[in-house]
Amino acid sequence: MADDRETWTTEEFGTSHEGWVGVLLDDGTVPQPAMFDTGSGADVHLSSHWSVYDGHFAHVPRAAALRGVCSCGWAGPEYPVDWAAAAGQDLEDAAGDQAEACCDDWDGHTAAVEAATIPLPETVTALLEQLEAEIGKLGTSSPLAAVRAVRRLEATGRQAGYWAARSARHDATPQQAATALGLTEDTARRELARLGRWNRYQP
């Protein structure tokens, strides 16, 4: 029973900061995912997409407000749904602007997360951007050469990351590492363990 909720992520932060449009009911609670019988025996469709909470389906409550939320625990401001002005519209039509505002709020949240990360030297940023551009051009003229370049880059990253991760393990607490990398603490531990090649379940 896969949930069809639409989510947003960034390339760098991934599921550490996965966002979506959250729904609030009149009593301020978050509704459970809605279940829909597809008519195929035991097959049940599960959805927590904000647009289904319009009261048009049996056992599915009506949204009172929308807000942007993030897997890290952040939540944005609430945007009430004006059902009186909706005139029988589906929620997707009645609250499209509110949903867009939720996405904008989440964009602002990830921008704040990025601003709190440890800054990279301009020389490193410039080299990374140049390397990405050069591999992109190589991919146009010689795709296999570009693939080889990417594989070399991955190998270089593994080698450089090994000692960097092991040093970071001793220089920073998990919380400090999480903030510096823009990740949750658990993901930061996992990434450092992956790069430093140690078992993250061992003390």
Q: What is the pLDDT along the chain (203 residues), one digit of tens a residue?
A: 456 889 999 999 999 999 999 999 999 999 999 887 666 556 677 889 999 999 887 789 999 999 999 999 999 999 999 988 877 788 898 999 999 999 999 999 999 999 999 999 999 999 999 999 999 999 999 999 999 999 999 999 999 999 999 999 999 999 999 999 999 999 999 999 999 999 987 66
Taking the C-alpha atoms of residue 2 and residue 47, their distance in angstroms, rounded to an integer, is 8
At residue 168, what is the residue type? A
pLDDT at 57: 79
pLDDT at 40: 57
Q: Tell me the β-bridge partners of 54.
A: 62
pLDDT at 202: 67
E strand segments, the chain: 19-24, 34-40, 43-47, 65-70, 79-80
Burial of 133 (0-12, 13-18, 19+ CB in 10 A): exposed
Cβ atoms within 10 Å, residue 88: 9
pLDDT at 42: 61
3-state secondary structure (DSSP) of residue 48:
coil
pTM metric for this prediction:
0.87
Taking the C-alpha atoms of residue 30 and residue 73, their distance in angstroms, rounded to an integer, is 14
pLDDT at 173: 95
Q: Which positions ≥6 away from 41 have C-beta within 8 Å?
A: none
Taking the C-alpha atoms of residue 30 and residue 24, their distance in angstroms, rounded to an integer, is 5
pLDDT at 55: 84
Q: Tell me the β-bridge partners of 203.
A: none
pLDDT at 25: 97
Q: Which one-letter DSSP state was computed for residue 3?
A: B
What backbone phi and psi angles, to 5 degrees, belong to 156?
A: -65, -40
pLDDT at 1: 44
Taking the C-alpha atoms of residue 28 and residue 30, their distance in angstroms, rounded to an integer, is 7
